[in-house]
Amino acid sequence: MADPAVVWHFRGLAYGEQEQWAKAASDFAKCMHLQSPFASLSGGWRSLALAAAGDMPGYRKACAELLEEFSTAQDPGKANDAAWFCVRFPGAVKDPAGPLQLAEMAVAKNPKSHPMLNTLGAALYRAGRYEDCVTKLSETIEVHGKGGTAADWLFLAMAHHRLGHADEAKKWLTKAQQWIDQVAQKKPNEEPVFGAITSTWPHQLELKLIRAEAEALIKDEKKK
């Protein structure tokens, strides 16, 4: 018999592919509460589905539950997942110190992990520590070894803009935009472009929403 948690998790992913966000969020919630190995990941995809549906109260509640569930996590992978899901979009949690602490713990145990360094950079941004964010994301890109990822570049663009570094902000935002657009134009039977993300909807949707935030922020700043 199949593990129910596995069934809920992958059915949630299937609903997400069809943009049936309410059903996806419901299945991910069931998986999370079964305390499965997918728990932290399902909690994150649940909040993502709610954000996609425009259910911001539900989204914030899901993030709060995720943070509470994993606030004392000692496993760096689960701590990193929870932290990332609570910092990838603005206004996820009331106190950014919680995700930041989880991200710092994960990096302390895995100082050369690119995904964990990226999460820490994003957490520093949400905490308003923009100079530290730039420093950490520069380190993140160096650890990546192949130029970094779009998520690195988008948060770096926003941090530079908060610091008044207009040229740097524009450079990193443009780099991210071009890369995301290039990936979107690739056909399924083509070789993936360098560093391409997987084609699953959660990763695509994450970048879409972070990109929209960065574009709105930098556009708004230009008007001032």
Kindly state the tokens that stand for 80: 């990193």
Q: Answer whether residue 217 shows pLDDT above 90.
A: yes
Query: What is the mean predicted confidence (pLDDT) over 119-128?
Result: 98
Average pLDDT over residues 208-216: 96
Q: What are the boundaries of each domain within the chain?
A: 108-224
- Which of 1.25.40.10, 3.40.50.720, 3.30.1050.10, 3.10.110.10 would CATH assign to domain 108-224? 1.25.40.10
Band (188; pLDDT cuts 50, 70, 90): low
Residue 219: pLDDT band with limits 50, 70, 90: confident
What percent of the chain has pLDDT above 70?
90
d(CA 160, CA 89): 17
Please, which pLDDT band fits residue 216 given cuts at 50, 70 and 90? very high
pTM for the model stands at 0.88
| Residue 9 in this model has a pLDDT that exceeds 90 | no
CB of 41 closer than 8 Å to CB of 73:
no
Q: Which residues neighbour 197 within 8 Å (Cβ) at sequence distance 6 or greater?
A: 149, 150, 183, 203, 204, 207
| Position with higher pLDDT, 130 vs 183 | 130
pLDDT at 32: 81
What local confidence, expressed as pLDDT, does residue 192 receive? Answer: 39
100 pLDDT higher than 50: yes
User: Mean pLDDT in the chain?
Assistant: 88
- Give start and end residues of each alpha helix (H) in 127-165: 130-144, 150-162
Rounded-to-integer distance, Cα 221 and Cα 135, Å: 22
* Contact (CB, 8 A) for 149 and 198: no
Q: Which residue has the tokens 């943070």?
A: 67
Interval 37-84: pLDDT, tens? 777 888 899 999 999 999 999 999 999 998 988 888 889 998 999 999
